[in-house]
Chains A and B, each alone.
Chain A
Amino acid sequence: MNAQSMPKAYLRVEGLHKQYGARTVLDGVSLSAQKGDVLSIIGASGSGKSTLLRCINMLENPSRGEVWIDGEKIELRRVNPETLVPSSERQLQRIRSRMSMVFQQFNLWPHMTVLQNLIEGPLHVKKVAKETAVATSQAMLKKVGLFGMEDRYPAFLSGGQQQRVAIARALCMEPDVMLFDEPTSALDPELVGEVLDVMKQLAAEGRTMIVVTHEMAFAREASSRVVFLHNGQIEEEGPPSEVFGEPKSARLVQFLARCN
C-alpha cells in the first residue's frame, strides 16, 4: 500500500487481522482518525473492540495489517503465520510514548505515589527534567480534579480517583493520541460520572482520542465518530447522530436496543 496515495490521517489502521488459532478476533479492520477526532468504538463483548485498541499500540500482536501514526508506519516482522511483532523496539517505544493508554483496570504502579506514577514516563522515556515533570503532573492533577493528592498511594484512592490518576498519567506524556480501553467498566456506577466528565473535558479540548466504551451516552455526546464493531469487522461507522439516530445495520439496531 502506498502511503502517498492515502488521504492524510493522523492515525491509520489498515486491514488489521487478529487470529487466535482457529478463532478470528479481528477480520480486516481499517479505520483512521484526524487530529482532534474522538473515535468511539462500540460493540458487544467479544466483538474485538479491546483487541483492536491493543493492536494499535502493539500490546497485542496483529496477524496481518498495518498501523500508521503521523505518516510513520510501525515496522512489523512476521514470527509465525498468525503473529506479527514490532521489528524495532526503539521505534515502538518512541511511538508508544506518543500514544498513551488508559486501562480498564487502571494499572497504576502501587509501590509508587501518585506523583511518582505521573513522572515515571516523562522522566525515563521522554527524559524531561524532574522539575518540569513535577510541574506538568501538578497541572494534570489539577485538570483531573485531584490536586493535592500527589503523595497518596494508589491503594488508598477510590476507583474513580485511581482512574483519574491513570488519565493524568497518560496526559503527562503529552501524547498525540490517547487510547481508552473501557475506562469506566471497572468502576462502581456512582464513580463513572467523574471519569466521564474528565474525558468529555479532554474531548472538548480537541485531543485525539480512541475510546472503547460501553457508555453510549458518552459516545453520543462526546465523540466525533462512532465505530460499531461486530465479530471483528466494522459493521457501521459514522458521526454519532447517524449511528445512534438512524442506524442502518440490523445488528446495530439490535445492539442499541439492548443497551438502552
Chain B
Amino acid sequence: MTIAELFSAGSTDWLRVNPKLRTYWHTLIALTTVPLLIVAAIVIAISEGVPVVRFIGIASIIAIMIFAIWAWVLVTRRVRSIGYRLESRELKVSSGIMFRRVVSVPFARMQLVEVSAGPLERAFSLASVQLHTASASTDATIPGLDPERAAEIRDALASHSATAGL
C-alpha cells in the first residue's frame, strides 16, 4: 500500500490529471535541452586546438543527454503519481515517485486559490490550480488540468472557504 492510499484512509479513488500533461512535460524537456545542446555544440565547434574546452563541451553534452533522458523516462510515472481529492472539509494532493508527499489543506485555512496557465500550457489547453495558505511550505499544486476542470475546482474551493469562515 502506498502512503497516498494509507493517507486517504484506504480508498484508492484519487482523481487523476489529464494525460496530456505527459506531452506537455516532454515538450518542456525538449525545449530546455535543445538550446543547451546547441550552445555546447557551438563551444565544441569554436574550440579547435584547445583540448580542455573541447573536453568540457563533450562532457556537458553527455551530462545534458543523460539528464534529459532520465527526466523524459520518468515523466510518465511522475504524471501517474499525481492525484488529488476534494473531500468535504479539505483538499488532498499527492505526488512524487522517489520522494513521495501527500499534503492535506483544510478549506478553512485557504487564503488564495490561483489558476494559472502559461503560454505553452495554453497551447496544450492545460492549467494548474495552486492553493495558498498562510504557510509558505504548504505547496498544494495540481498541474495538468483541463481549464474547465481547473475553474470548477477553483469555484468549489472558493465556495467552501466562504462557508468555512476564516
Do these two chains really belong together in a complex? no
| Residues of chain B having any CB pair with chain A under 8 Å | none
Where the two chains meet, the residues of A that have a C-beta atom closer than 8 Å to any C-beta of B are none
